[in-house]
């Protein structure tokens, strides 16, 4: 190679390197823009459109673990749980300390019925980010499914100490209390939920079940009020309310 050819080669190499280095931040900038647009559409509950824009963002910056995690979360909202797990796995592979992706994967495993996997992830998300209180709610829900009732109550108590009006935590604690045969505690939680959220079908259903299940000899209004709750749960769309009405409240339905 002549001296002149060597100089030309070095100039071309320099120009190519400059172009490559300069193009990456530009791609990342465009990726961030797409991710922001994805977030806007997600907030509008336009999940399919949001999914497309998140995929565009990831194509521009395939190492953005937060974008991949966000796409997975959109898939959860579309009930595409298995596809969501693939994204969460990739986000965690890129960043093993991404507590949000780990939480999201645990959340998804819970709704897939894989409670032990869910518990492993939620425990890890708590280790990485112990101030994120929704992790304790999820662990309480998982504990309920795994029959670890005392541990579930402990986690749910923590949630309610942080926010005494946290409806989801109160409902879950009430459900755990029923399984522990602490019907008085459960009744108080569901009663409070109905005050906070008068259209909560799960609260009406469970309060109704408590009332129709207790001995109504001393207070015959218990069963009547319980059936009213079950009917309210039915009108609000609770999937088990119709069967409960047929079983417990046939005499009232005939009237």
Q: What is the mean pLDDT of the chain?
A: 90
- Domain end position, chosen among 95, 111, 126: 126
pLDDT in tens, 18-52: 333 444 577 788 888 989 899 899 999 999 999 99
| Alpha-carbon gap, residue 186 to 170, rounded angstroms | 9
Is 245 a member of any domain? yes
Is 228 a member of any domain? yes
Is 17 a member of any domain? no
Residues 6+ apart with CB under 8 A from 155: 136, 137, 139, 140, 143
* Residue 115 tokens, joined: 């409670």
Is 219 a member of any domain? yes
pLDDT of residue 8: 38
* Residue 249 tokens, joined: 């409240």
Among 103, 104, 34, residue whose Cα is nearest residue 64? 34
Looking at per-residue confidence, does 25 or 199 come out higher?
A: 199
Is 191 a member of any domain? no
| pLDDT above 70 as % of the chain | 88
The CATH number of residue 64's host domain is: 1.25.40.10
* Average pLDDT for 180-190: 97
Is 231 a member of any domain? yes
* Average pLDDT for 67-72: 97
Contact between 169 and 156 under an 8 Å Cβ cutoff? The reply is: yes
Angle at 204 between CA 198 and CA 205, to 5 degrees: 155
- Domain end position, chosen among 126, 145, 180: 126
Number of domains in the chain: 2
Q: What is the pTM of this model?
A: 0.85
Segment (H or E) for 157: helix 149-162
Q: What radius of gyration do the chain's Cα atoms show?
A: 26
| Alpha-carbon gap, residue 99 to 69, rounded angstroms | 10
Band of residue 219 on the pLDDT scale cut at 50, 70, 90: confident
Is 42 a member of any domain? yes
Residue 233 structural domain: 199-255
Tokens 């709704």 belong to residue:
111
| Alpha-carbon gap, residue 118 to 112, rounded angstroms | 9
Is 45 a member of any domain? yes
- Domain end position, chosen among 126, 142, 165: 126
Q: Based on the fold, state whether residues 37 and 118 are members of the same structural domain.
A: yes
Q: Does the pLDDT of residue 239 top 70, yes or no? A: yes
Rounded to 10 deg, the angle between the 149-162 and 134-145 helix axes is: 160
* Residue 241 tokens, joined: 């309310």
């Amino acid at each position: 190679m002549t001296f002149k050819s060597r100089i030309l080669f070095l100039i071309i190499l320099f120009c190519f390197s400059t172009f490559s280095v300069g193009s990456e931040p530009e791609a990342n900038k465009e990726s961030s823009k797409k991710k922001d647009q994805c977030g806007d559409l997600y907030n509008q509950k336009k999940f399919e459109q949001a999914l497309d824009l998140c995929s565009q963002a990831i194509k521009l910056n395939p190492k953005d673990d937060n974008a991949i995690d966000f796409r997975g979360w959109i898939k959860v909202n579309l009930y595409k749980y298995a596809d969501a797990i693939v994204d969460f796995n990739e986000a965690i592979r890129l960043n093993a300390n991404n507590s949000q992706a780990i939480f999201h994967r645990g959340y998804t495993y819970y709704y897939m019925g894989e409670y032990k996997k869910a518990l492993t992830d939620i425990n890890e998300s708590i280790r990485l980010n112990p101030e994120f209180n929704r992790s304790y709610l999820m662990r309480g829900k998982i504990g309920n499914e795994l029959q670890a009732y005392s541990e579930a109550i402990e986690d749910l108590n923590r949630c309610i100490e942080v926010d005494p009006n946290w409806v989801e935590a109160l409902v879950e604690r009430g459900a755990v209390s029923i399984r522990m045969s602490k019907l008085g505690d459960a009744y108080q939680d569901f009663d409070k939920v109905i005050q906070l959220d008068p259209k909560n079908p799960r609260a009406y259903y469970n309060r109704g079940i408590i009332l129709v299940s207790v001995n109504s000899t001393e207070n015959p209004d218990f069963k009547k009020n319980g059936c009213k709750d079950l009917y309210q749960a039915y009108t609000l769309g609770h999937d088990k309310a119709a069967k409960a009405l047929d079983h417990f409240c046939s005499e009232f339905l005939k009237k």
